[in-house]
């Protein structure tokens, strides 16, 4: 059995496979068939709205009120997810990014292959997390780029068609970096349980961890599947990074989060970002904020495109509970501190064995 710890084993292009299967009514290859999709319980999958908490950045920025900050902390604590409105990223910046991503995926396979992942690299067009030859596969193609810091960009993977792609990603990435910095500031404040403790928490350490804003962009393309209830667009996972901001490029729902053992369909307000706490933030907040398992399902006859921006700590950061949270002697560190590189090594090795790596860092 071939296996690797970084990068991904090469597998079929799902967009091309979907075209064949959908046109000819061919059976879906066994590696994509997921029995659990139909057997697991789903909440609000019948057209009713199931909104995750809505956080309004305008209200968050109001110095007169702590209410939204408390709401934000509660969303991170109880849901691990929220949607962000009035986020201040100009509509045009989002529209340009969406159009260019959609146009990229619309190109013929050969054109996209010019940006294919290389062995042992996560960047480029292809798949993520295929680590063994007998693993079940996701009904999705992915395109991943390191976008920040700017020096980390490998332009070999940055498309020149559509012509505005690089510029759109650059502008979007800097807007989202600013936004995530603001959110991290409020999340640091909200990490104390009582509103009175908000002012006592040192926010500098959390921001410091993310200084330089290492940022990755994953564009996900989910082709339609006639037998949508047999496949999964993205397998259940938690995000390793600190903070993720997701855009549903063509406003198609499909994201589901695990809540009380059931899958819960996320229905986002148009134009909102779906934001979630990643593993690093769960650890840094000493388990107060939760990195929640999520997955993506596909539609029988409509494609779905999403763009996720991941903010991760700097390479030399130590991932562990913030010392400020352990100051009063009663609070114990729930997780062991490890260097970020070691943290990622454990993340991939746990994926390889189907384990939850957060469990293995718990004290």
Ligand X SMILES: O=C(O)CCC(=O)C(=O)O
Size of the site for Fe ion (CB under 5 A): 1
**What is the dihedral sign for C-alpha 110, 111, 113, 114?**
positive
- Residue 309 makes CB contacts below 8 A (sequence gap 6+) with 147, 173, 176, 180, 215, 216, 217, 244, 245, 246
Which CB sits closer to ligand X, 254 or 313? 254
Binding positions for ligand X, rule: CB under 6 A: 218, 220, 234, 239, 246, 254-255, 294, 296, 306, 308
Question: Which of 199, 221, 218, 203 lies closest to 312, judged by CA?
Answer: 218
Which CB sits closer to Fe ion, 81 or 105? 81
Q: Least distance (Å) from Fe ion to the CB of residue 236?
A: 10
Q: Least distance (Å) from ligand X to the CB of residue 241?
A: 9
Q: Least distance (Å) from ligand X to the CB of residue 44?
A: 16
Q: Least distance (Å) from ligand X to the CB of residue 60?
A: 24
How far is it, in rounded angstroms, from Cα 20 to Cα 233? 17
From Fe ion, ligand X, none, which one binds at residue 218 (CB under 5 to 8 Å depending on kind)? ligand X
How far is it, in rounded angstroms, from Cα 323 to Cα 95? 41
Which CB sits closer to Fe ion, 189 or 346? 346
Task: Please give the structure tokens belonging to residue 229.
Answer: 């209830």
Task: Please give the structure tokens belonging to residue 332.
Answer: 């114990």
Which CB sits closer to ligand X, 277 or 296? 296
DSSP 28: P
Q: Least distance (Å) from Fe ion to the CB of residue 124?
A: 19
Q: Which of 123, 141, 239, 282 is close enough to bind Fe ion by CB under 5 A?
A: 239
Residue 167: enclosing H or E segment and its boundaries?
A: helix 165-189
Which CB sits closer to ligand X, 60 or 358? 358
From ligand X, Fe ion, none, which one binds at residue 312 (CB under 5 to 8 Å depending on kind)? none
How far is it, in rounded angstroms, from Cα 60 to Cα 294? 26
Contact (CB, 8 A) for 116 and 126: yes
Please tell me whether residue 309 adopts helix, strand or coil conformation. strand
From Fe ion, ligand X, none, which one binds at residue 190 (CB under 5 to 8 Å depending on kind)? none
Which CB sits closer to ligand X, 75 or 309? 309
Q: Least distance (Å) from Fe ion to the CB of residue 239?
A: 4
Applying CB under 5 A, the residues found at the interface with Fe ion are: 239
């Amino acid at each position: 059995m071939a296996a690797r710890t970084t990068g991904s084993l090469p597998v079929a292009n799902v967009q091309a496979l979907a075209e064949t299967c959908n046109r000819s009514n061919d059976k879906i290859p066994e590696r994509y068939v997921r029995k659990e999709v139909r057997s697991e319980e789903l909440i609000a999958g019948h057209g009713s709205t199931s909104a995750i908490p809505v956080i309004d950045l305008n209200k968050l920025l109001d110095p007169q009120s702590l209410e939204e900050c408390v709401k934000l902390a509660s969303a991170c604590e109880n849901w691990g997810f929220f949607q962000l409105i009035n986020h201040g990223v100009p509509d045009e910046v989002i529209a340009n990014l969406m159009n260019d991503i959609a146009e990229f995926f619309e190109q013929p396979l050969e054109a996209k292959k010019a940006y294919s992942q290389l062995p042992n690299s996560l960047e480029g067009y292809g798949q993520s997390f295929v680590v063994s030859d007998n693993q079940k596969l996701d009904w999705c193609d992915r395109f991943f780029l390191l976008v920040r810091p700017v020096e980390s960009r490998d332009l070999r993977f940055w498309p020149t068609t559509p012509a505005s792609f690089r510029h759109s990603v650059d502008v979007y990435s800097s807007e989202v970096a600013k936004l995530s910095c603001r959110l991290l500031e409020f999340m640091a404040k909200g990490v104390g349980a009582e509103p009175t403790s908000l002012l006592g928490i040192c926010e500098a350490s959390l921001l410091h961890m993310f200084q330089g804003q290492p940022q990755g962009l994953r564009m996900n393309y989910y082709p339609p599947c006639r037998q949508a209830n047999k496949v999964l667009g993205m397998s259940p996972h938690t995000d390793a990074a600190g903070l993720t901001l997701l855009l549903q490029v063509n406003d198609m729902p499909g994201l589901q989060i695990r809540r009380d053992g059931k899958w819960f369909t996320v229905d986002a307000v148009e134009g909102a970002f779906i934001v979630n706490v990643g593993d690093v933030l769960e650890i840094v907040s000493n388990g107060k904020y939760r990195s929640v398992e999520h997955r993506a399902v596909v539609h029988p006859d409509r494609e779905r495109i999403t763009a996720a921006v991941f903010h991760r700590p700097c390479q030399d950061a130590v991932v562990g509970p913030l010392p400020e949270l352990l100051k009063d002697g009663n609070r114990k560190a729930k997780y062991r501190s490890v260097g970020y590189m070691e943290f990622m090594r454990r993340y991939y090795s746990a994926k390889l064995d189907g384990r939850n790596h957060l469990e293995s860092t718990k004290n």
